[in-house]
Amino acid sequence: MALRYVVQTGDPVLREKCAPVKNFGGELNALLGDMKQTLYAENGAGLAAPQIGVPIRVVVIDAGEGYYEMINPVIVSASGEQCGAEGCLSVKGKQGTVVRPNRVKATYFDRNGKKHKLTCDGFFARAVCHELDHLDGVLYTDKAQEVHDLPPEE
């Protein structure tokens, strides 16, 4: 495993429509290992493959309810509404207020190619929406009601 550089806003890879994963196995597992390590090193709630420069449909999420690897994820239904603060490892030093669904149901594949269903609420649902947007080249700043600078870290 290796820590990967998280690309920052302005890099065109963040605006790509990412390709579905077709080949499961060695290379994908290596990528997932790097993404997991990078996610925790950066204290993120989620990380999408394009954020480390790989435009394929893979995200890793830990929104406080366990670690999830989601390959070719799709939101199949969304309901409710929540308004809250959001940041992004690719938009360092900023935070915005974004309206998201309060509950989403998604399908995804794990690293072994097994399909799963997931229902999540609250912050977990927010993280899923945020990360899946990355796979279509969308950043939270495109949807935020306002974006402001965070105070410098001490």
Catalytic residues: 131
Residue nearest Zn ion by beta-carbon distance: 88
Q: Residue 51 Cβ, how far from Zn ion at the closest point, in Å?
A: 6
**122 or 137: whose CB is closer to Zn ion?**
137
Q: Does 45 bind Zn ion (CB under 5 A)?
A: no
Q: Residue 26 Cβ, how far from Zn ion at the closest point, in Å?
A: 27
Q: Residue 111 Cβ, how far from Zn ion at the closest point, in Å?
A: 21
**24 or 82: whose CB is closer to Zn ion?**
82
CB 100 within 8 A of CB 88: no
| Rg value, the chain, Cα | 15
Tally Cβ neighbours within 10 Å of residue 148. Answer: 11
Q: Residue 48 Cβ, how far from Zn ion at the closest point, in Å?
A: 7
CB 124 within 8 A of CB 43: no
Tally Cβ neighbours within 10 Å of residue 86. Answer: 22
Q: Which of residues 78-97 bind Zn ion (CB under 5 A)?
A: 88
Q: What strand order describes the sheet that includes 146-149?
A: 82-86, 94-100, 146-149
The per-type count for the chain, helices as H runs and strands as E runs, is: 2, 8
| Count of residues touching Zn ion (by CB under 5 A) | 1
**107 or 141: whose CB is closer to Zn ion?**
141
**92 or 116: whose CB is closer to Zn ion?**
92
Residue of 76, 75, 33, 85 lying closest to 54 (CA atoms): 33
Q: Which residues bind Zn ion (CB under 5 A)?
A: 88
